[in-house]
Structure 1
Amino acid sequence: MTVNNFIPTIWSARLNERFQKALVYGNIVNHDYEGEIQGQGSVVKINSIGDVTIGDYNKSTGIGNPEELNSDQKQLVIDQAKYFNFQVDDIDRAQANVDLLEKGIVEAAYGLANVADQYIASFYTEVKAGNTIGDDTTPIVPTKENAYDYLIDLGVVLDENDVPESDRFVVVPAWFYGLLVKDPRFTVDRNVLLTGYVGNIDNMNVYKSNNVPNNIGSKYKIIAGHKSAISFAGQVDSVEAYRPEKQFSDAIKGLQVYGAKCIKPEGIAVLTANRS
């Protein structure tokens, strides 16, 4: 492996970091079980309690025997394993006045996070039946006049499922965000960082992402929901520096394992939209 492409000249070396899209979906899930995983293949058991019956009290008959609580157990499987493995040749490193290994680690970390971001976004398929607006057959085609309204409609779907008002989110693609900023009802937050946060609509934090799932530029799956709906657990299993046997170079390899589970399908709503 060579890094010659990253060294314009021997005397003046500058490594330009490539443009990176905002990573969003990792911020809109919960990480409650992060510390419970022990490598690829491990399983996290998530227990939830069913409804408690509320009855009418009668002082003559009392309240009767206590009911037995119903519990439901879901399993979050750590079934994803991603790695990176790169090297920097001794000659290349000697010519460069930047730390190529350090820059490589930064790029590898971003690459791992980007893949995980797309993985979490794919959980739109777990949405509860009826919690959708539009579909693959009849996708919505929003305009600058009604894009804002469609996000309000997603919020109504969450309302009807008794989803808490706090910690709500919605993730839109860049073109949909472009429609929102043309609507005077949408207040733009100028402090947009790599979190992708761009504003708030109807108690939903609005995020912009290029990882919104789509079918080659159509049928974008705009997910709204509550942070408790999807659980994500992951960890970097190992990062090792080594000297490859057949090269004069330094190398670094790393492994990240993770998994996710939609534990509250009623806590997400999905708008399927095409760009006009």
Structure 2
Amino acid sequence: MNKSSFFIVGKHAVFEALKNKKRKILKVFLTEESKKNIHRLSPKKNLLKDVKIYFKTKKELDKYSKNEGILHQGYVAEIEHLEKIELKEFISDKNNLTFVCLDEVTDPRNIGSLIRSAASFNIDGLIVKERHFPKESKLMYKSASGCVEHLNIFEVSNINTTLKFLRDKNFWVYGFDSKSNKDFMDVKWEGNNILLFGSEGSGIKHHTNKYTDFSVKININENVESLNISNSAAIVFHHINQHKKIS
């Protein structure tokens, strides 16, 4: 079955896609210098073997990123989507999993930064609503700095149904809410957990909040209203990762 293709830009996004054996690369558009950099970064393996390469000037590559206002750095690739991962199959033989789930979060830059943090701090997967996930966004891939290739991403049709299913499979759902009375650092973070984040504007939807087991927050300076969601997530991911290492 033929898959739809799309373009990504940026050094890390393209380089990590080339390294991913599961990723189908259709074409790569490079400057002479960026080709040399790829060989420098991977001297023992020719990542460009069997890949269609087109050499362009930086100005010629600008057309792939100018509409988004992001820098291509001399790297552009046309790629296919990865095979979808089925959540039910993934959890069937695993324990002590930590997933992050996004409710109505749609900003590509924030999602990309969150993906980068999740991959960096060993979060087991990201659950997103398929209809809201900007899966072909150059900005998301650029912000993720190649980490889309290193994180399990589960696209689901309904967040509430998915949370209900996971709760039935012994997952605890923690909803992050700045109005909560409980500090997330007071949680033991044992077993299977889901970290639920809502949109920056309206937070977790009321109906979705019914599927949470606990409401928690990040304690910050009382004079500051809130943190950016990607910053909040990075703090939480780092803490849980450290907790798991010592427990």
Please state which structure has a larger fraction of its residues in strand: 1
Larger Rg: 1
TM above 0.5, yes or no, is no
Higher relative contact order (CA 8 A, sep 6+): 1
Tell me the TM-score range normalised by the shorter chain.
under 0.3
TM-score (norm 2): 0.24
